A and B are shown apart, each in its own frame.
Chain A
Amino acid sequence: MTTLTFRVRGMDFSNAGEVGAKVKRILHQIGFEREVTRRAAVAAYEMELNIVIHAYEGEVKVRIFDTGVEIIAEDRGPGIPDIELAMQEGYSTAPPEVWKMGFGAGMGLPNIRKCSDIFEISSEVGKGTYVRSVVLRG
């Protein structure tokens, strides 16, 4: 088992997407199936971007097992008042400047759930958000 930890800063768009790309590269190097790699990379990418867009700062932790990948994002931020609403496709509170950059379509959380075999989310308003995704092989 290997653990990789990535620090992510809010509004740091110059590095946004780096975590997803790195996870993809490493899983490829280790030899995970393309589809597993893709799903894990998408989940990592969306978690990273949610911290960049919506939170102040946070961490994405990737644990790689021979059976699959676990990705955990934890941040310090405003939190999500209504998780059920946030999970709906197309729901987004991202500001217009962020849309202009091509982010904030409201598809991130639903995408993470779609890619995951196990999905968990919890949040405390005013404190932060926790998202966990497990992508299993075969």
Chain B
Amino acid sequence: MQYYHSVRLDVSRCIGCTRCIKVCPTEAIRVTGRRSVIMEDRCIDCGECFRVCHQHAWYAMADPLERKDDFDISIALVPPSFYAQFGPEVEPEHVVSALKSVGFTDVFDAAYAKEAMTRAYRMFMKTEKWEAPLISPACPAVVRLLQVSYPDLLGHIVPMDSPIEIAAKMAKQESDAWSDCSFRRVGCFFITPCPARVTAIKQPVGGRRSYVDGAFSMSDIFGLVLKKLDPRKSEKIDKMATGSGISWARSGGEALSLGTKKVLAVDGIHAVITVLHEIERGKLRDIEFIEARACTGGCIGGPLTVENPFIARVRNRMLSEHRRAKSLAVPVEWVEENYPKGYFHLAGTIPPRDVLRMDSTIEGALDRFERMEALLQELPGYDCGACGSPTCRTYAQDVICGQAAEGRCAFQSQADSSDSGERKIRITCRQLAERLGFEIAVDSESLDDEVNGCCCSDMLSDVMATARRGYIWVTVQTHPNIVAVASVTGVSAILITSDRKPEDRTLVSARTHGVSILVTTKSSFEVAGRLWSILNQ
């Protein structure tokens, strides 16, 4: 199945700087042809890439606000991190009122569902068998990190739905009970601080449909609410969390709510990885519960938040202290009644995403592994990222698995040239053109690049997959799109065969993009044969 992602790249903004490839916790990004390319099946939507991107090329795909108008009743699910975006004079009740002015029929406090989760965790730990340490299911990026990189730890995740799913479930049932109009369509919309939640809603783990009907970016809703905020207008909701549920917005809140000392809270995806390592190494068996958050500071540090996370943290702490109460807002009887019915439990299990396997067969993988280790010996170990892969090891793996061209390492090729007596022939594109009588239609710098291969294909997607920097691309296509393909793949020249003439727009575009074009009367078949014999002399 195609994996859905909310983290997207605007290629027109990307300059291929390699900042993002180094921060990606699952090594899901490569730079090829001066652009970042994301390996969809590895991405966990944590948003680290767009935090470091200076070009603002990465963005999160959330729903447009109009989506709520598809429903008769629209409920805004508000997480406590949202309250922390506003100044100290703004109370949650003001935000509720403003959200209604923005056009939501109703508002549900997600922190209330978090308190239900706290009670459900306690019941789980008391009544079921589990292996310490338990890992919270609340952060969708962390759950996906485990699926991709730590599949053996999936069994440590509390097998419950996320608090947001529980919130939507509660909100919908409430709504039916209140308005007695169950025939009308009720839509629940989460105001999300992170792209990972958008993904989790579109594609929940375990395959069941989400109770949430859409996700709006917190930064988008913030502006709308800010305009509607009015100090005289505030509205109470009866299912409002106490300080405990509110504190889940910052790191440590969830762990603290359990009321036991044997908890650990870790925030920031790279810090989370260090803790997962410890569990893998057989440690932390004395810890009962781990609250892990991909974002530094917790959800208030989400990539889609507006306020500085340190300021938001103070706001959240003040609000939760102010609303501290002896007992949680959610009645214990309610949880005791619903917990045994499976209200909180995940429908299925969380499957691993086996994306790290090197080959479909053991024999193939072993062979590749050996060749990768051998190649790794030749690489400098600087992990500079200039080749487009985040580390020397990933580069070696990419080369061996056919996902990157050889010879991209600046340091390795130096070593090669110094000791190569019997390497393949060295010839530039221009020399080749002269030797084989190709006509130069567009002359740009790349003609003086050394040719290191050839791609002979008229299918653009095939060229995208196989052509590399330094290649000659042999084709009969003449339309302007070939220039885009050439510049993305970084080929040295396009060679148009069989006496076809490139369109004028193609020539213009090639000149502006610095792409070289050669033409010949010979067929692709003949040209390919000649190129083959020269390049493999």
Contact = CB atoms under 8 A, between A and B. Distances in A.
Interface of A: 1-2, 16-18, 20-21, 24, 26, 28-32, 34, 38, 45, 64-66, 102, 137
Given A2-B369, A20-B281, A21-B280, A28 B356 contact: yes
A30 B282 CA distance: 22
B282 A24 contact: no
Given A28-B356, A31-B361, A17 B281 contact: yes
Contacts, number: 58
Interface in B463-489: none
A65 B152 CA distance: 22
A17 B362 contact: no
A24 B366 contact: no
B13 interface: no
8 contacts: A20-B282, A24-B152, A28-B151, A29-B358, A31-B359, A38-B152, A66-B363, A102-B283
A20 to B, nearest CB: 7
B362 A30 contact: yes
A21 B365 contact: no
Given A2-B370, A24-B152, A31 B365 contact: yes
B285 interface: yes
B358 A30 contact: yes
For the complex of A and B, list the 7 residue pairs with the smallest distance between their C-beta atoms, beginning with the closest. Answer: A17-B281, A30-B365, A21-B280, A31-B357, A66-B363, A2-B370, A66-B362
B281 A32 contact: no
A29 B281 contact: no
A66 B41 CA distance: 26
B131 interface: no
Contacts of B363: 66
A18 B151 CA distance: 17
A65 B365 CA distance: 11
Interface residues of B, number: 22
B362 A2 contact: no
A31 B277 contact: no
A1 B370 CA distance: 8
Interface of B: 151-152, 277, 280-283, 285-286, 356-363, 365-366, 369-370, 373
Contacts of A24: 152, 280
A16 B357 contact: no
A66 B357 CA distance: 15
Given A29-B369, A64-B366, A45 B359 contact: no
A24 B370 CA distance: 17
Nearest to B359: A31
Contacts of A137: 362
Contacts of A17: 280-283
Nearest to B277: A21
Contacts of A26: 369
Given A17-B283, A31-B361, A66-B363, 12 more contacts: A2-B366, A16-B281, A20-B280, A21-B280, A26-B369, A29-B357, A29-B358, A29-B365, A30-B365, A31-B359, A45-B281, A64-B366
A17 B284 CA distance: 12
A38 B282 CA distance: 12
A21 B281 contact: yes
Contact of B356 (A18, A29, A32, A64): A29
A18 B281 CA distance: 7
B369 A30 contact: yes
Contacts of B356: 28-29
**Which interface residue of A31, A64, A137 has the most chain B CB atoms within 10 A?**
A31
Nearest to A28: B356
Contacts of A31: 357-362, 365
A1 B366 contact: yes
Contacts of B366: 1-2, 30, 64-66
Contacts of A32: 362
Contacts of A38: 152
A24 B153 CA distance: 12
A85 to B, nearest CB: 25
Contacts of B280: 17, 20-21, 24
A78 B323 CA distance: 61
Contacts of A20: 280-282
Nearest to A15: B281
A11 B360 CA distance: 40
A59 B370 CA distance: 20
Contacts of B362: 30-32, 66, 137
A38 B286 CA distance: 22
B350 to A, nearest CB: 15
A18 B277 CA distance: 9
A138 to B, nearest CB: 11
**Which interface residue of B152, B286, B361, B373 has the most chain A CB atoms within 10 A?**
B152
B373 to A, nearest CB: 7
A45 B282 contact: yes
Contacts of B360: 31
Nearest to A46: B282
A28 B358 CA distance: 9
Contacts of A30: 357-358, 362, 365-366, 369
